[in-house]
Structure 1
């Protein structure tokens, strides 16, 4: 299917889209966003709080393990380049868990986007081969969609979880959750197969036939990736204004980036402080349009408004 679009107003081109990429991202911003480490660096220069971290080559697992231990568990393990959420593990809290998280990140390097043809920088080439290790503050993952000076929507991304009832097994609870997710027009395309679920539970050291106690919360996903079973909840109306302003500042930190999903870590929706953990100019609009819980938000309107403003 043709995935290219040109937008015009009064006969004049004001913007364009290629897949999820838009003309609201400059070449320089595109180059920077191809590496999480480069993005972190610019955020730091702008005076924003980012988690302590460092990148390692795929053959430096032992060195990376020592570094993770020096940070203090838990840590986050991520491919440095764009991987659409593949290979990202958060809450890695032991050397044993680090090994599986590292292997997952290395496997995901095969899916990291290649740099654009015009981007011949050494950093972009390295990002396709490196793993980023960061301190994990155990916060709540927040995605804020920013266009121009406005934060149009904010949602919490939750890793797949089940709550025990004292009767059913973990696997049975997971099946019920998958069935419930399939009722959402957006999430129903991203349910995972049972074989994938069993492999994941094995990595996490969870017996699929165990029966959690009633009320016991059990997280059964490495990170809140929607394609891996994650859930979303709109919190636009309850997140502190200060946090939304930080997301706008993060957008400003990236030269030539007019619209993006900004990822933050917060301790609670009432907290006025946050840590910036990423930026994505290809952020999905549908996750805000069709959240698992909460109000639907149309962030595309903000993008179209920026097309008109930037197009003159």
Structure 2
């Protein structure tokens, strides 16, 4: 059984083309390699220093208290927000009542998120969702060649996601996705096979339909110096991050990185001076990724695409929107990948490079307005000129 991502919410379903993507360029010539050479490598010695780390929930609680909205934490993941002695909202994990039930359901499924976006006539990554016992049918997609993504439809934090999968690697990627599917009764149990889009993964944080921050998630890489081994280069990269509390606390082990090196690299490989190699495709912190703030670098069209993606899901008042784009100065070729209503603000509050963005101020501002004007027909506009102070 297979399900093609379609925009069934529109008057006429929109069937998405499934086109395999070939990524035969050297790493330095790929979009991420170009970005690293142009922005990350020149700024390497200017890595931001953050000696202390304040977690997402701590930051939110502080911001709410500043707005005279005390937080009552129940046992487990639930919390209630109070205002003038009344319960005016709450939180489950990191997801707040700015997110409707419908939006939460949409964000819990990769295919449903993209269906909403496609119904709004927005470009999406595309793909097919298959039942867990439909491996043979899913495998047929890869016969066209190219690189693919295999992931649980309900994947979170990258669990079970395999990138740049070819036909030979499909069986292992499929088994991993099936094994690491979320097991909740309300979670989709399907597996998605999606074309791999070679570009920059940009995460936007959108509150109330407006994007307040954007960061490129730069996967783990090394640049050769002509004498050091890959293992030495990774070790030096990790040591360099010790001044940054968030990066230091989320580093993968050196052993796990070396055990997953792409062919033909080994830990003993010595790269020529200036030779850039991507060691991961996954830009998450726990995979060795680096968040690079690009809020002031993204084009208005790209920012608008992220905002429209959030607005396409009814009741999605706050979420991270993930896009893949060939370049930051244009939305041409960009596709919507995911919407995450459980996203942390930490990569924006503590970026590896670039200016920190205090998006929690905007989030708690919206919660405060909901509390004050819950019985009014319309909320007042938020002024973008107000200084944040989370």
- Range of TM-score over shorter length: 0.7 to 0.9
1:220 aligns with 2:279: yes
* Structure 2 counterparts to residues 257-276 of structure 1, below 5 A: 257-273=316-332, 274-276=334-336
Higher strand share: 1
* Match in the other structure for 2:198: 138
Deviations 1:212-262 (A, max 9, x none): 111111111142122111111000001011111111111111121100000
Which protein is bigger by CA-based radius of gyration? Answer: 2
Q: Report if the CA contact (8 A) 2:107-2:113 is conserved.
A: yes
Kindly state the Cα deviation for residue 50 of structure 1 after the two structures are TM-superposed: 0.5
Give the superposition deviation at 1:4: 4.1
Establish whether residue 176 from structure 1 lines up as the match of residue 236 from structure 2.
Answer: yes
Q: Deviation of residue 86 (structure 1)?
A: 1.7
Q: Helix, strand or coil for the counterpart of 2:103?
A: helix
What is the count of residue pairs matched by the alignment?
A: 297
Structure 1 equivalent of residue 174 of structure 2: 102
What's 2:293 paired with? 234
Q: 1:60 to 1:213 in 2, by over 3 A?
A: farther
Conserved in 2, the CA contact under 8 Å of 1:140 and 1:266? yes
Deviation at 1:266, TM superposition (A): 1.0
Match of 2:149 in 1: 76
Cα offset, 1:195, TM superposition: 2.9
Distance 2:127 2:263 in 1: 23
**TM-score, normalised on structure 2?**
0.71
Query: In 2, Cα distance between the equivalents of 1:87 and 1:204?
Result: 21
User: Structure 1 stretches of 5 or more lacking a match?
Assistant: none
Alpha-carbon shift at residue 163 of structure 1 (Å): 0.8
Q: Is the 8 A contact 1:34 1:81 kept in 2?
A: yes
Preserved CA contact (<8 Å) 2:305 2:331: no
**Aligned 8 A contact 1:157 1:233 in 2:** yes
Gaps of 5+ in 2: 1-74, 374-390
Identify if the C-alpha distance between structure 1 residues 182 and 113 changes in structure 2 by more than 3 Å, giving closer, same or farther.
farther
Q: TM-score, normalised by structure 1?
A: 0.88
- Of the three residues 302, 305, 308, the one matched with 2:365 is 305
Q: Which runs of structure 2 are paired with 1:1-312 in the superposition (5 Å)?
A: 3-70=77-144, 72-92=145-165, 94-109=166-181, 112=182, 114-115=184-185, 119=186, 124=187, 127-128=188-189, 130-201=190-261, 204-273=263-332, 274-311=334-371, 312=373
Question: Aligned to 1:87, what secondary structure does the other structure show?
Answer: coil
SS at match of 1:292: coil
Change over 3 Å in CA distance of 1:267–1:20 after alignment to 2: same
- The alignment partner of 2:180 has SS state of helix
The 2-side partners of 1:96 and 1:297 are apart by 42
Conservation of the 8 A alpha-carbon contact between 1:182 and 1:191: no
